[in-house]
Amino acid sequence: MSADVQTPAAVADQPVAPGQGLWRYLAMPCFVAVALGALYLYVSSQELDRIEAVRLTPEFIAASTVRHLYLVGVSTVLVILIAVPLGILLTRPFARRVSPSIVAVTSTAQSVPSIGVVVLLALFFNLGVRIAIVALVVYAFVPVLRNTMVGLQQVDESVMEAGRGMGLTKRGVLTQIELPLSVPVMLAGVRTALVINVGTAAIATLINAGGLGDVIYTGLVQNRTIVTLTGAVLTGSLALMVDYIAGIAEDVLRPKGL
């Protein structure tokens, strides 16, 4: 083989240039910054009427963004606290007979349109932030549950047998082998749930829970295109940044060697 020809393995072993690695982490923030800058210049160049001026103040947008992040953050934490332990239980030998039925029921709940889940809960309970959080938990529950189960089920049985041979208990095998090896798949589920919640939280305005949906809904009801556009761009930018931060968290939390 010629000395000028490199094998795929040799190419893969070559270090990534520092500039390429840096651009990987800066590309998305730069894109979002450009989008928000363009939106700011566009809105600033328009003559706003009274309704537009009220809904596009920095104070109102900041308050709506904070409420949106609150809805997404609390609901995602609750999803993790419920779905991950349930996923662990459903992969244990004593629960494997009922796990398909439980997964089917939870998947059915997610198949209902998000606006249907929000409105249905509001009809039977009450309006406000708590019901919005419950609806977000219901809608983002399946990705975390499913990925937790898949991550645990894909751990090689021979690896677990080796752990048992070294004297680990069932709990030790779970905490020291199964969970660390399933972390990448579980984090992917959490990342998906976060992005789902950012989009679904925009509907929370229909039950008086606030968020960036207030901006979008006002623009639609009042036929103010500039307000609708602002709310849509802010929600999309927030979803991109949440996904970006979750991706960094995946890289940081991923066990070494995986």
For the segment 120-179, what is each residue's pLDDT rounded down to a tens digit?
A: 777 777 778 888 898 899 888 889 999 999 999 888 888 888 888 888 888 888 888 888
Mean pLDDT of the residues in the chain = 84
CA 3/CA 115 separation, integer angstroms: 62
Give the pLDDT confidence score for residue 89 in this predicted structure: 92
pTM of the model: 0.83
Residue 189, pLDDT > 80, answer yes
* Residue 142 and residue 23 in one domain: no
* Residue 135 and residue 229 in one domain: yes
Residue 9, pLDDT > 60, answer no
Contact by Cβ (8 Å): 109, 95: no
* Residue 36 and residue 61 in one domain: no
* Residue 25 and residue 136 in one domain: no
CA 254/CA 169 separation, integer angstroms: 24
**Could you report the per-residue pLDDT of 58-83, keeping only the tens digit for each?**
999 999 999 999 999 999 999 999 99
* Residue 58 and residue 140 in one domain: yes
Taking CB atoms within 8 Å and a gap of at least 24, the contacts of 87-92 are 87/144, 87/145, 87/146, 87/147, 87/148, 87/149, 87/152, 88/148, 88/152, 88/174, 88/179, 90/145, 90/149, 91/148, 91/149, 91/152, 91/153
Range(s) of the domain holding residue 14: 1-45
Q: Does residue 203 lie in a domain region?
A: yes
Q: Does residue 153 lie in a domain region?
A: yes
* Residue 236 and residue 130 in one domain: yes
Q: Does residue 258 lie in a domain region?
A: no
Kindly compute the dihedral angle of the four CA atoms of residues 17, 21, 23, 28, in this order, to the nearest 10 degrees.
160
CA 145/CA 102 separation, integer angstroms: 10
* Residue 9 and residue 98 in one domain: no
- At 242, which CATH number? 1.10.3720.10
* Residue 28 and residue 123 in one domain: no
* Residue 107 and residue 191 in one domain: yes
* Residue 114 and residue 152 in one domain: yes
CA 186/CA 219 separation, integer angstroms: 38
How confident is residue 257, by pLDDT bands cut at 50, 70 and 90? low
